[in-house]
Structure 1
Amino acid sequence: MKYKLVAIDMDDTLLSDELILPLKVKKVIQEAVDKGIVVTVATGRMYSSTLPYVKDLGLDIPIITYNGALIKEAVSSDVKYHRPVPIDLAKEIVALATEEDWHLNIYLDDILYVNNLGDEADIYERISGIKPVLINEDPVEFLTKPPTKLLIISENAAKTDEILLKLGSRFRDLLNITKSKPRFVEIMNKEISKGTALSDLAMDLGVKQDEVIAIGDSLNDLEMVEYAGLGVAVANASVELKEKADYITKSNEEFGVAEVIKKFIL
């Protein structure tokens, strides 16, 4: 099988635990690109948070960000697809977060807005490298257009599961709600996921489904791992993702992405 497109999750998959792009992985990706393989990233991160890593890799491709809500060119910055959260549903989520006193990230025009500053905001800033902007008014009134994505950061993993249940019971049929990290609840347009975005990108590139490799670690990678001709979970992935994967590679700390590309492409 000749694979032509590789989509890689970033946190806990492509990057080390210290959020560094390992030189070994970078070299293998560049070898694949030199052979004509299209390599892209598919991440829950903001475009602005993703771009420095993509530039470090020297990639000139559309990148999948916000869990698939935004596909945007790395070099030209042209938007290929943007599917935000409908404004009425977004306002309902914001109102609920306010009522429940949840920390909320709101993403508008690739700017990060938060309803509170504190530990949760600090954690996200350390991971993303993006400084948040505090909303100084009623968050519901602040939201006047559809956000690209919403993110709730919980106090702990148990609280995350509680939030997922509460949101699921009310919005399951209306929104795509998933978990990316133990404390992160991701909220997107019902029509999007990393899987739908990867399918759109493959179609644009003229790449068949069975010519696609997708590599990830968490529940927000599930749809793209199921979509790809070869769906890969890293060794540190969630149990749920491993169960759906076609192949389990080494962990992010053991350069699992490099192992996959060497085994199936180079």
Structure 2
Amino acid sequence: MSEKRYDDILLISDLDGTIVPRYEMISEENINAIHAFTERGGAFAIATGRAPGAALPYLEGIAVNAPSIFFNGAMLKDLSADCVLESRTLDGDIWRDFAAQVLFRFPRACVEVYTADDCNVLTPEENDDPRLDDEFYNVTRRPLRDVEQETWLKFFVCDAPVNLTFVERLAKELGIDKISTSFYSDANYLEYVAPGTSKGDMADVLRAMPAYAGRRVVACGDYGNDVSLLRTADIGVAPADASEEAKAAADRVGVPCGEHLIAWVLKEVL
């Protein structure tokens, strides 16, 4: 019997909480499944909130053979060619004003501005979220004035969930909500990207490229920032331990993150 081919499939997967358990790496079972998928003609991409540099350590030895989505949809990059294909930015002085207000009103928050290569942390080290030390972020600690003239791709606030509701209220007061897309990537992570920006929107850009046109899109994700990706896919898959929002958006619910979701997708979905 001949081996199954995947020439008609574009598989896009989130990392954290989907195929990367917290503070762990991608399992050997998932790595082997990705290899089997790409060797048989499948196109594999990732879609993450991370910057490329913070994602690459997880992908060592993995055949990511399609352009991938970073900053929750603000960048599409071909990793093999080290080439940015599309990016969407946070433009205007209003973003600098918003950052200044957040820094002033929420002194215990961890506030981060993402540029193309760096995670710029604007707050003191004692405010840092633990993931900055444990998850390969290229951290540069800088005051707001030093990043004001740079190109911003994502604005990120980590704080207690109740405080983040007040950050959202501030965003409405300043009109930020009208010039951005915002979402939670965890209960205490609130993120802002350019308007009309999401993993799902950038996945549509990817699937329209000639190399991937006509392929069915299978997408995997676990949290609110993955909902648009799950909905735009032909088949959306959430792990069993995903958020209720992600599971509601998915067509299939698979095994938990720690039990090798990509291997499950190849066996049970494809």
TM-score computed with the length of structure 1 as normaliser: 0.90
| Structure 1 segment 1-266 matched on structure 2, within 5 A | 3-101=8-106, 103-136=110-143, 139-140=144-145, 142-154=147-159, 156-168=160-172, 170-207=175-212, 211-265=216-270
Distance in 1 (alpha carbons) for counterparts of 2:186 and 2:214: 27
Tell me how far apart the structure 2 counterparts of residues 168 and 210 of structure 1 sit (CA, whole Å): 39
> How far apart are residue 119 of structure 1 and its match?
4.3
| One-letter code aligned to 1:247 | R
Aligned equivalents of 2:258, 2:147: Cα separation in 1: 41
The letter for the 2-side match of 1:117 is P
Percent sequence identity is: 21
Q: Gapped runs of 5+ residues in structure 2?
A: 1-5
SS in 2 for 1:197: helix
Distance 1:61 1:244, change over 3 A: closer
Q: Superposition RMSD on alpha carbons, in Å?
A: 2.2
Write the distance in 2 (CA, Å) between the matches of 1:61 and 1:79.
13
Query: Which moved further from structure 2: 111-120 or 73-82?
Result: 111-120
Return the offset for 1:245: 1.1
SS in 1 for 2:242: coil
SS in structure 1 opposite 2:100? Answer: helix
Aligned counterparts of 1:157 and 1:2: Cα–Cα separation in 2: 43
Deviation by residue 1:70-93 (Cα, 9 ceiling, x = unmatched): 111112211111111113342132
Amino acid across the alignment from 2:64: L
Cα deviation code 1:175-215 (max 9, x no counterpart): 01101012111110012110011110111145357710111
Q: Deviations over 1:221-264 (max 9, x none)?
A: 01111100001111111111111211111110121232112222
Structure-2 separation of matches of 1:202 and 1:30: 21
Q: Distance in 2 between matches of 1:38 and 1:105?
A: 32
Query: Where do 5+ consecutive residues of structure 1 fail to align?
Result: none
In structure 2, how many angstroms separate the alpha carbons of the residues matched to 1:127 and 1:185? Answer: 19
Q: How far apart are residue 52 of structure 1 and its match?
A: 2.3
Task: Tell me how far apart the structure 2 counterparts of residues 168 and 9 of structure 1 sit (CA, whole Å).
Answer: 29
Question: In the alignment, is the contact (CA less than 8 A) between 1:115 and 1:134 conserved in 2?
Answer: yes
The question of whether the paired residues in 2 share the 8 Å contact of 1:95 and 1:140 is answered with no
- Residues 130-161 of structure 1 show CA distances to partners (whole Å, capped at 9, x for unaligned) of 2422224xx1564113301111111x233334
CA-to-aligned-CA distance 1:20-69 (integer Å, 9 cap, x gap): 11000110111010111101110000110112223331323311110111
Moved more, 119-128 or 195-204: 119-128
**DSSP 3-state at the match of 1:71:** strand
Alignment TM-score, normalising by the size of structure 2? 0.89
Q: The residue matched to 1:75 in structure 2 has which SS?
A: coil
Q: In structure 2, what is the Cα distance between the partners aligned to 1:175 and 1:140?
A: 22
AA at the equivalent of 1:18: Y
Question: SS where residue 29 of structure 1 aligns?
Answer: helix
Between 209-218 and 34-43, report the one with greater CA deviation: 209-218
Residues 38 and 63 in structure 2, CA contact (< 8 A), matched pair in contact too: no
